[in-house]
A = this chain, B = another copy of it.
């Protein structure tokens, strides 16, 4: 079909032409005298994206799913006990990974559409007098429901319980898009993939480790090989990697970091707030509900929109077949009940106007009663403002 496809799933996101060009390069010897220039550039700049002033960042040839594993095997003892709120599909899968790797997970169930509950975390930790829980696993932004958890509150809950557990955070759909404050929130392990806020193809896993987490690496008794940070640390210290790095993706990551810092991380976050406001204005004008039940938890990277009557899969399929628009489907407990618009990465208002226009047409085609143009007019009222202004409004 002619023209560009509009990719509005919440990952992979659009890879900017600059990044595609940066990856279109001949291979190099990863043991050459110049390779460390590439690796160190990346490892020096990644902590800034994570809001981390001490600790270290690491890059693996893997995905976010691999980083779940890496975050656990490098910090936990074999069979360790961990605590994890389950409030969406990706929280569920993180828990599932931990379970398969032999860890005992105390799960805190939340209704999908709500964020992780700091009070429940507090209470569970407070009950753990012997401090047998080694870590709390939290998904920052739950991609399946469009809900962002309050990590500052989670941190307060842990501190209030005076519990030494590590805070391990999945930031796959937040890092690089939303403000992420590893230092401020005392996150011990933050993990991400390349294919969302970093505007890259999937294939790189990113791990941020606090000093406290790093201190666990040698002591942790979990078996590990590919994800073993001991080798990675040793080799990274020399500017190299323990095995062949995914070099084309590293070239791309350098350029995506260039773009993030050229725009400025605060501006990136403000832009995502701005774009999300426009989407939510359109949803409201369509008289549809978000899966996210509370405005304070609205995700600025993905909106999950409820559609009663099992129409969501039809709308998604219509958008794809007729309008060259990829929307996200409902997953897990909300499969069939909603569709998702990803609004993260290399996006601007006009790209979202196209997505909202396509969504509106697909909704109408499927018989949803939408006032023509209403969503687009509402989005316009947001997009005609500027991003910084929008962020201030969102902050009020």
- Please state the number of chain copies in the assembly: 4
The residues of B that contact A365 with a CB separation of less than 8 Å are: 384
Are A353 and B358 also in contact (CB < 8 A) when A61-B202, A246-B203 are? yes
Give the interface centre of A228, A271, A354 by most chain B CB atoms within 10 Å.
A354
The answer to whether the Cβ of A334 comes within 8 Å of any Cβ in the partner chain is no
Determine the chain B residues whose CB is within 8 A of the CB of A20 once the complex forms.
Answer: 24-25
Report Cα–Cα, A213/B188, bound state, in Å: 39
Q: Are B380 and A4 touching (Cβ within 8 A)?
A: no
A348 and B324: CB pair below 8 A?
Answer: yes
Query: Is there an interface contact between A244 and B61, defined as CB atoms closer than 8 Å?
Result: no
CB distance from A364 to the nearest CB of B (A): 7
Contact B27 A201 (CB under 8 A): yes
Query: Which of chain A's residues 64-112 have a Cβ closer than 8 Å to chain B?
Result: 64-66, 68-69, 96-98, 100-102
On whether the beta carbons of A323 and B350 are closer than 8 Å, the reply is yes
Chain A contact-residue range equals: 35 or more
Q: Is B353 within 8 A of A64, CB to CB? A: no
Which of B4, B101, B243, B361 touches A351 (beta carbons < 8 Å)? B4
A350-381 vs B, Cβ < 8 Å mask (1 yes, 0 no): 11011101101100110000001110111011
B26 touches A14 (CB 8 A): yes
Chain B nearest CB, measured from A75 CB (Å) = 15
A358 adjacent to B364 (CB under 8 Å): no
Query: Which stretch from A5-13, A41-49, A144-152 is at the chain B interface?
Result: A5-13
Q: Which of A123-131, A157-165, A219-227, A297-305 touches B?
A: A219-227
A195 within 8 A of partner (CB): yes
Q: How far is the CB of A57 from the nearest CB of chain B, in Å?
A: 19
Residues on B with beta carbons closer than 8 Å to the beta carbon of A246 = 63, 201-203, 249
Known: A3-B350, A225-B100. A12 touches B27 (CB 8 A): yes
Q: Is A64 touching B244 in the complex (CB atoms < 8 A)?
A: yes
Q: How far is the CA of A225 from the CA of B96 in the complex (A)?
A: 8
Which residue in chain B gives the minimum CB-CB distance to A4? Answer: B351
Whether A377 contacts B373 by the Cβ 8 Å rule is yes
Check: A32 CB closer than 8 A to any chain B CB. yes
Given A225-B68, A245-B202, A248-B23: A6 and B357 interface contact (C-beta under 8 Å): no
Residues of A that sit less than 8 Å from B by CB: 1-7, 9, 11-17, 20-21, 23-33, 61-66, 68-69, 96-98, 100-102, 193, 195, 201-203, 223-228, 242-249, 259, 263, 268, 271, 317, 320, 323-326, 328-329, 346-351, 353-355, 357-358, 360-361, 364-365, 372-374, 376-378, 380-381, 383-384
A–B pairs, 12, beta carbons within 8 Å: A5-B26, A9-B29, A31-B328, A63-B226, A63-B244, A69-B225, A248-B249, A323-B383, A324-B350, A350-B357, A351-B354, A354-B354
The 8 closest A-B pairs by CB, nearest first: A373-B377, A373-B373, A3-B348, A353-B357, A203-B246, A201-B248, A372-B377, A354-B354
